[in-house]
Structure 1
Amino acid sequence: MVTPTGSGPLAGRVPAGVSVFPMGDAHRPDRWNAVRMARLFRRLRPDIVHTRNWTCIDAIIGARLAGVPAVIHGEHGREAADPEGRNRRRQQIRRLLSPFVSEFVTVSRDLARWLVEQVRIPARKVRTIYNGVDTERYAPGDRAAARRTLGIPADWSVAGTVGRLDPVKDQIGLLRAFARANKGRHALVIAGDGPARPQLETAVRELGLRDSVRLLGERDDVPLVLRALDVFVLSSIGEGISNAILEAMASGLPVIATGVGGNVELVRDGLTGCLIEPRRPELLADALTAYFDDPARAAAHGAAGRSRAAEEFGLERMLAGYVALYGRHVALGARP
């Protein structure tokens, strides 16, 4: 595994036996980064280099300069600054690099369509492998105990979200929607951190929600946070595929999500949750109220969502997809 720094929140989750090669000072956003990566790849001699998203695009060039037999490029979501993927320059660079990529892998059919129809990558080079969720770690549990941990009364109706606090996630819109739906004895939980936190703190004060909103910050106990909820909400204006939605479904929660990106491939409207237009807090407020007022419907949608997560988005299914992908390319061009 080649990383920019070798540190960060995922460093402690790398399995034993996996070698990590931090680029350190050698990783700089300049035209020579591909050359530096080529030097590393010549030393490592991999059969496959798998790059991910725009920030690793120069590794495609580095891998080919080093003579790596196969290069797989993954698209896991568009950039936060360009949620609809309309940046012409980045489209052109992806298209120019396409001949050097053995196969493109997306985590949603929406991203696959974008690559084919807008970026104009040949369809034969694009496949989709959905992200998987650990349905043992993310599962329904003791809701009352989870609420005690978070300081929320057991008999309140609780909505929540998990994710980076960023304008593309539109948590400000979620706060405005919750302010409309809040009739007392309701709570909103927001787990995560990011650049939009100051704006959210201001909005909580201005909307008079100090007693009912919990800004939890970054958490390492997300399964517990989800067990405290009655309904999960994702208010993003753009998504690739949402791991947070998958985790909420596995946790047995109904999901209210904006109908953008891969969200529509996860949430079955009216069966496992509710899809709404983005940037429409009044519609989000109506969806929240509908679940708050009908706990039986919320429970039924949550149960259906968990079944769907286990049957269609389990970790084993995702792993099988990548094992087959890598195996095919190793067979085609492995080093002697």
Structure 2
Amino acid sequence: MRSVPDTAQPPLVAHLIYRLDIGGLETLLVDTINRMPPGRYRHAVICLTDYTDFAARISRPDVALFALHKPAGLALGIHASLFKLLRRLGPAILHTYNLGTIEYAATAWAAGVPVRVHAEHGRDARDPLGVNPKHNLLRRLVTPFIDRYVPVSRDLRGWLEQVVRIPARKLQLIDNGVDTERFQAHGPVTTEAWQDDPDAFIIGTVGRLQDVKDQACLIDAFAALRRLLPDERLRLVLVGDGPLRTQLQTQVTASGLQDSVWFAGARSDVAPVMRSFSLFALSSIAEGTPVTLLEAMASELPVVATAVGGIPDLLDLGSSSAAGALVPAGDAQAMAAAIAPYVRDRALARRHGAAGRARVEQHYSMRAMLAAYVALYDELCAAKTTPGTPNKAITPCAE
């Protein structure tokens, strides 16, 4: 447990997350805490299970960090532990994230936390369409204890309203944002083994090696691409770690790809690593608004990704400024066919990369996201202290 004295005056936001480790949601949480104006809100991070060295990326010195060490299963005692912690901290807001933490909104209500916000950042491989009846019943049952649900994509918002049946007045779409100063095409580039050939076309992906990201399909797509373009010098780089690493390495070896596929492991220098790629590929079977995809677009990389969750909204293929290509989830042949034009035409890759950067700057900036969260917190806190305040739509004060 890392704690700090409760001496500051701004209201406290307690962020409840299942585990603080490398991941898109976790990166977004850390960036939000680090970049939010310190005079508006203080922050504490409560991990149901534990946290890793990733927590060191929280740069603000006034952020308290707690781990409840929840075991597998129901672990009803964790409700009591959280209740006691919330009573001691006295936060103005509890902000929970994804299904694993949603039930604790009721605990926060019992502990007297005035405002409860729940964010949905995506669904996992066990329920990619979000139709599990028990999970959706839980989401509905805790709705009276949640002041606002925050989906991070239009797809998730529609699902919460139409499938889960959350009242529209309790839904607030806030698009994820990315640090466009850190993620850009120009800047330091790491020196890596996959850069052994300056003419090689490097396909990169970033994400935890787990079922929902389906890197196995990407490896199959890369094998198909090599067969489709036998004369091209191609590289595939998988950045990230996770439970499927050994299985994926075995797949690479069995496919005879070990000379052109790199497992880069978990990295803290993702921005310069991105700049070593020629194209970003994402093979997920479920997503919200993937942060790594926004980072790739900000880095001016063309994108080939599966048409799931909020990804189609990001790439905006219906306009003249498309940022990449979409393929069906699980279709390795389609992914290979979508990547091939960028290998053949590097100018096309540059055009779509530039379009992606422009789209991120216009719609998915960190500044607009932070303004939206501050506005949300402000509105809900005001409603709790001013009886009768209606639930209003929130307009971010940054465009």
TM-score class, shorter-chain normalisation, is over 0.9
Which residue pairs with 2:77 in the alignment? 32
Which residue pairs with 2:40 in the alignment? none
1:208 aligns with 2:252: no
Letter of the 2:219 counterpart: L
Within the candidate set 329, 333, 340, 1:289 is matched to: 340
Please report how far the alpha carbon of residue 334 of structure 1 lies from its aligned counterpart in structure 2 after TM superposition.
4.1
Which residue pairs with 2:148 in the alignment? 103
Which residue pairs with 1:221 in the alignment? 269
Which residue pairs with 1:241 in the alignment? 289
Alignment of 1:179-198 (within 5 A): 179-182=223-226, 183=230, 184-198=232-246
Alignment of 1:1-336 (within 5 A): 1=44, 2-4=46-48, 7-25=51-69, 29-141=74-186, 146=190, 148=192, 150-182=194-226, 183=230, 184-269=232-317, 271-334=322-385
Counterpart Cα distance in 2 of 1:256 and 1:38: 45
Aligned residues: 334
* Residues 95-136 of structure 1, C-alpha deviations (whole Å, 9 max, x = no match): 011011111001111111111111111011001101110011
The 3-state SS of whatever aligns with 2:263 is: strand
* Residues 44-68 of structure 1, C-alpha deviations (whole Å, 9 max, x = no match): 1111111111111232011110121
Native 8 Å contact 1:163 1:191 kept in 2: yes
The 3-state SS of whatever aligns with 2:142 is: helix
Structure 1 window deviating more from structure 2 (88-97 vs 12-21): it is: 12-21
- Taking structure 1 as reference, are residues 39 and 307 closer, same or farther at Cα in structure 2, changes over 3 Å only? same
Native 8 Å contact 2:236 2:261 kept in 1: yes
Native 8 Å contact 1:178 1:285 kept in 2: yes
Native 8 Å contact 2:51 2:67 kept in 1: no
Please report how far the alpha carbon of residue 327 of structure 1 lies from its aligned counterpart in structure 2 after TM superposition.
0.3
Please report how far the alpha carbon of residue 17 of structure 1 lies from its aligned counterpart in structure 2 after TM superposition.
3.5
Letter of the 1:274 counterpart: A
* Residues 14-51 of structure 1, C-alpha deviations (whole Å, 9 max, x = no match): 23243324143477742232232122111111111111
Cα RMSD (Å)? 1.9
Structure 1 window deviating more from structure 2 (148-157 vs 197-206): it is: 148-157
Identity %: 42
Native 8 Å contact 1:74 1:104 kept in 2: yes
The 3-state SS of whatever aligns with 1:257 is: strand
TM-score (norm 1): 0.94
The 3-state SS of whatever aligns with 1:46 is: coil
Letter of the 1:287 counterpart: A
Please report how far the alpha carbon of residue 4 of structure 1 lies from its aligned counterpart in structure 2 after TM superposition.
3.3
Letter of the 1:310 counterpart: E
Please report how far the alpha carbon of residue 213 of structure 1 lies from its aligned counterpart in structure 2 after TM superposition.
0.8
The 3-state SS of whatever aligns with 1:10 is: helix
Letter of the 2:348 counterpart: R
Which structure has greater helix proportion?
A: 1
Q: Which residues of structure 1 form unaligned runs of 5+?
A: none
* Residues 120-166 of structure 1, C-alpha deviations (whole Å, 9 max, x = no match): 110110011011100111111369x5455644311111111000111
The 3-state SS of whatever aligns with 1:228 is: coil
Q: Which residues of structure 2 form unaligned runs of 5+?
A: 1-43, 387-399
Counterpart Cα distance in 2 of 1:96 and 1:146: 49
Letter of the 1:296 counterpart: A
Structure 1 window deviating more from structure 2 (14-23 vs 48-57): it is: 14-23
Counterpart Cα distance in 2 of 1:151 and 1:306: 24
Counterpart Cα distance in 2 of 1:26 and 1:165: 23
TM-score (norm 2): 0.80
Counterpart Cα distance in 1 of 2:304 and 2:53: 28
- Taking structure 1 as reference, are residues 229 and 147 closer, same or farther at Cα in structure 2, changes over 3 Å only? farther
- Taking structure 1 as reference, are residues 51 and 311 closer, same or farther at Cα in structure 2, changes over 3 Å only? same
